[in-house]
Amino acid sequence: MEASPQHESQLMERFRKGDHLAFARVFKTFYNELCFFARKMIGDKEQSEDIVADTMSKLWKRHEYFNSLENVKAFLYIGVRNGCLDYLKTFKYRKQVDSTVLENEGAFSEDYLMASVIKIDLMKTIIAEIESLPDRQRAVFKLYYIDNFSIDQI
């Protein structure tokens, strides 16, 4: 969320006081990127959404303890990561899946978490820049870089 320090401060003050509209704003700010993050970890869209919703619920229950959006973001990413790991462990025991999924638990370390956050933030910036291009330039850019069309095809 790109907000001025004053706007963020006001939002967080309202959030700490239990303002439902402030929570809705925080939810909207982080929901899609957290779902993307969770889905990359566990590969299940619906379960990813459930994990994110559960983590958001935990955030709301602790709303009075957060002083900044960065604290909120860190809490949410760590909570979603932990929720995904719990799901994978439960899934392994319930379905007797290949243990290689959990052998890669190190891939969900703090370094992985930070790299994922940076990657998602970068993708949001790139998408915003692409969308700000004039219509024809945006169309050509997407055809070439996203759809892998050749220059002749475009």
Question: Does the predicted model carry a pTM greater than 0.85?
Answer: no
Q: Could you tell me which residues come within 8 angstroms of residue 116 by beta carbon, excluding any fewer than 6 positions away?
A: 37, 40, 77
* Gap between the Cα atoms of 82 and 103, Å rounded: 15
CA angle, 35 as apex, 64 and 23 as ends, to 5°?
Answer: 25
* pLDDT 10s digits, 79-96: 999 999 899 888 665 554
* pLDDT 10s digits, 6-55: 788 999 999 999 999 999 999 999 999 999 899 888 888 999 999 999 99
* Gap between the Cα atoms of 105 and 94, Å rounded: 18
